[in-house]
């Protein structure tokens, strides 16, 4: 994966500036330190910052098709490119490089926007059709790769990160209060919202086709959909199918011309990946772990068990509350969002360690909790079935509007939270809360949760609310690319996701409330029993109280009464 940036003129010609694109690319140098290139004609300007993985000598972008009528820039990896390329060559397509993303161009020639149904990967790309003077943009199914855009001076501007868009002269840095309220209500801000008013995120599983100002089409090409009826094929079938599918996903993500490593957290998901790599790959890999000076959240005991089993070249960093303070400014700059948790600082420290050891990509375990019922909320849903009137009429009405299901509960009671927020906001913001409140607009398509069981409903909510713009964004993509490292997610392989949707919920959270039951059964004999039988432990870092104890001047000033008052967003007295 790399960094992309560009602009497309919506009303005229010859109004583009190469130097602006070069400035935008400069802000993305951490995403692509190996090389930069720009394509420009009278209508479009496309910039690319490269982090090399395949075809190191010949894999530069932009890439052109055979007659140079299509131009591609892509931030991402296509993991099924070899089979796609073979099929496309059989149809007469001629490739000019060995880089994986070139298949995107030829798929588009062959199938137009339906080409997205063939891709298995993590990607955000732009194809410029020179002849028809239009662009086609798309973001991967799960939202691993970022894509931001805005319209300024009748130009469509896009980039892998918001900071690149802010290089365009005249873009106003104005806070989006709806995004702030989403952050206070859900795990994070949700696409298409960003914290910058007027700058949007392309939603995962969506594409855009743009020709001129009045001809902009945006459509969803994929969403997490469970079958209306799931055929129960038995526990053993799913164990075997999961094993072979995950093994394939891992192998595909280890294919590169540069060294690749993996994270070891001490938990189930990263342990499965590490042990599978050790069992099936005939190479010694580098592994990376964070340990915490606070022994109450340390997982070093379990990290050592896995490292000894897989015999990796292991690297570990001891993380203290002072490290949280030390990394905080950089984390906020790269995340482009306010933070609710401190663990992003630990994620940045991990990727820094990866970069220092000259590893360009790491495999990590995100996605398993969302697909296989790994969070405590799944257990809570089962127990609350027996609690009558858990949601009162006010809460049910809010859930009906926001989620399209009056009985669905996610994380917290929203009416109670709304009352807290009215006290938390500054008086003028509190008075206008109904205008930007996160619970006054629908989040899910009408009927999305209809017919699903409780676990499936939460699977879908975690996929929409937790993964794309939080775990894969401020916690994922932005923290690894801050140090010119790419994260790869085997559990979010498209074949893995589709398989997970076919597995009955009783195999994910069993009758004994054992979370990720089928994954544990699959891993028995592969992963040490001490990992499989331990109580689930979330990845956390020292929190705000420890951060304040550090007495860092920057932190104390940021949280001071006078600063909160000056910002005018929150009620300083209530915060105190």
pLDDT tens digits along 381-440: 988 776 667 889 999 999 999 999 999 999 889 999 999 999 999 999 999 999 999 999
Q: What is the CATH number of domain 235-366+472-542?
A: 3.40.50.620
Q: What's the whole-number mean pLDDT along residues 334-350?
A: 92
Asked, colleague to colleague, whether 3-220 and 235-366+472-542 share their fold, the answer is no
Q: Pick from 404, 385, 441: which is nearest to 178 by CA?
A: 441
Q: Euclidean distance between the first and final Cα of the chain, in Å?
A: 43
Whole-number Å distance between alpha carbons of 530 and 527: 8
Is the pLDDT assigned to residue 58 strictly greater than 60? no
Ordered DSSP codes for 404-415: S-TT---SS-HH
Pairing verdict, β 313-319 and 286-292: parallel
Give the model's pLDDT for residue 169.
95
For the chain, what percentages of helix, strand and coil (3-state, to nearest 5) are there? 40, 20, 40
Angle at which helix 376-384 crosses helix 454-465, to 10 degrees, equals 140
Whole-number Å distance between alpha carbons of 186 and 398: 14
Average pLDDT across the chain, whole number: 93
Confidence of residue 467 (pLDDT cuts 50, 70, 90): very high
Whole-number Å distance between alpha carbons of 111 and 109: 6
Is the pLDDT assigned to residue 59 strictly greater than 80? no
pLDDT tens for residues 216-244?
999 999 999 999 999 999 999 999 999 99
Helix (H) or strand (E) holding 38: strand 35-40
Distance from CA of residue 404 to its chain's centroid? 24
Name the CATH code of domain 3-220 (choices 3.30.450.20, 3.60.20.10, 2.60.40.10, 3.40.367.20): 3.60.20.10
Higher local confidence (pLDDT), 60 or 83: 83
Q: Where are the beta strands (DSSP E) in 103-259?
A: 121-129, 134-139, 148-152, 155-159, 200-201, 206-212, 215-220
pLDDT tens for residues 118-132?
999 999 999 999 999
Give the model's pLDDT for residue 283.
82
Ordered DSSP codes for 334-396: HH-S--S-SHHHHHHHHHHHHHHTT--EEE--TTHHHHTT-SHHHHHHHHHTTSTTSS-HHHH
Confidence of residue 57 (pLDDT cuts 50, 70, 90): low
Whole-number Å distance between alpha carbons of 576 and 561: 7
pLDDT tens for residues 247-299?
999 999 998 878 899 999 999 999 999 999 999 887 889 999 999 888 888 89
- Domain regions of the chain by residue span: 3-220, 235-366+472-542, 544-576
pLDDT tens for residues 480-535?
999 999 999 999 999 999 999 999 999 999 999 999 999 999 999 999 999 999 98
Give the model's pLDDT for residue 35.
84
Q: What's the whole-number mean pLDDT along residues 299-318?
A: 96
CA distances from 542 to 215, 447, 482, 490, 576 (A): 49, 40, 21, 28, 21
Give the model's pLDDT for residue 324.
87
Angle at which helix 414-424 crosses helix 393-403, to 10 degrees, equals 90
């Amino acid at each position: 994966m790399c960094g992309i940036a560009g602009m497309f003129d919506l009303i005229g010609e010859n109004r583009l500036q190469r130097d602006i694109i070069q400035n935008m690319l400069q802000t993305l140098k951490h995403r692509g330190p190996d090389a930069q290139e720009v394509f420009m004609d009278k209508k479009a300007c496309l910039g690319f910052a490269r982090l090399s993985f395949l075809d190191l000598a010949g894999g530069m972008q932009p890439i052109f098709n055979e007659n140079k009528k299509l131009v591609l820039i892509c931030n991402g990896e296509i993991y099924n490119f070899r089979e796609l390329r073979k099929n496309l060559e059989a149809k007469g397509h001629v490739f000019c490089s060995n880089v994986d993303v070139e298949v995107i161009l030829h798929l588009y020639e062959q199938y137009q926007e339906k080409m997205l149904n063939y891709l298995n990967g993590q990607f955000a790309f732009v194809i410029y059709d020179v002849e028809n003077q239009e662009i086609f943009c798309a973001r991967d199914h799960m939202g691993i790769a970022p894509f931001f855009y805005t319209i300024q001076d009748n130009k469509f501007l896009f980039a892998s990160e918001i900071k690149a868009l802010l290089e365009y002269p005249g873009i106003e840095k104005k806070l989006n209060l709806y995004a702030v309220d989403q952050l206070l209500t859900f795990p994070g801000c949700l696409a298409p919202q960003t914290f910058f008013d007027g700058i949007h995120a392309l939603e995962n599983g969506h594409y855009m086709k743009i020709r001129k100002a009045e001809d902009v089409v945006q459509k969803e090409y994929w969403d997490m959909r469970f079958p209306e009826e799931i055929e129960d094929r038995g526990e053993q079938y799913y164990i075997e199918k999961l094993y072979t599918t995950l093994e394939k996903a891992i192998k595909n993500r280890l294919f590169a011309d540069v060294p690749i490593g993996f994270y070891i957290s001490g938990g189930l998901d990263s342990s499965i990946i590490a042990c599978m790599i050790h069992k099936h790959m005939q190479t010694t890999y580098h592994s990376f772990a964070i340990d915490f000076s606070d022994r109450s959240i340390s997982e070093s005991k379990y990290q050592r068990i896995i490292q000894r089993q897989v015999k990796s070249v292991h690297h570990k960093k001891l993380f203290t509350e002072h490290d949280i303070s030390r990394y905080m400014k950089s984390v906020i700059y790269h995340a482009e969002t306010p933070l609710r948790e401190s663990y992003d600082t630990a994620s940045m420290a991990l990727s820094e360690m990866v970069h220092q050891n000259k590893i360009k990509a790491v495999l990590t375990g995100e996605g398993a909790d969302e697909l296989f019922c790994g969070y405590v909320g799944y257990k809570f849903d089962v127990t609350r079935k027996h609690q009558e009137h858990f949601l009162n009429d006010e809460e049910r009405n809010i859930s009906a509007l926001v989620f399209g299901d009056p009985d669905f509960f996610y994380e917290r009671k929203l009416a109670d939270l709304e009352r807290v927020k009215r006290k938390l906001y500054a008086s003028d913001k509190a008075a206008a809360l109904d205008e930007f409140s996160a619970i006054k607009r629908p989040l899910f398509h009408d009927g999305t949760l209809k017919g699903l069981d409780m676990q499936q409903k939460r699977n879908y909510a975690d996929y929409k609310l937790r993964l794309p713009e939080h775990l894969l964004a401020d916690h994922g993509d932005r923290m690894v690319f801050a140090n010119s490292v790419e994260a790869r997610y085997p559990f979010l392989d498209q074949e893995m996701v589709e398989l997970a949707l076919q597995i009955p919920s009783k195999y994910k959270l069993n009758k004994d409330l054992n979370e990720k039951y089928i994954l544990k059964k699959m891993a028995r004999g592969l992963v040490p029993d001490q990992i499989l039988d331990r109580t689930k432990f979330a990845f956390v870092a020292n929190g705000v109280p420890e951060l304040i104890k550090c007495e860092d001047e920057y932190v104390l000033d940021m949280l001071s009464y006078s600063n909160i008052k000056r910002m005018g967003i929150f009620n300083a007295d209530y915060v105190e």
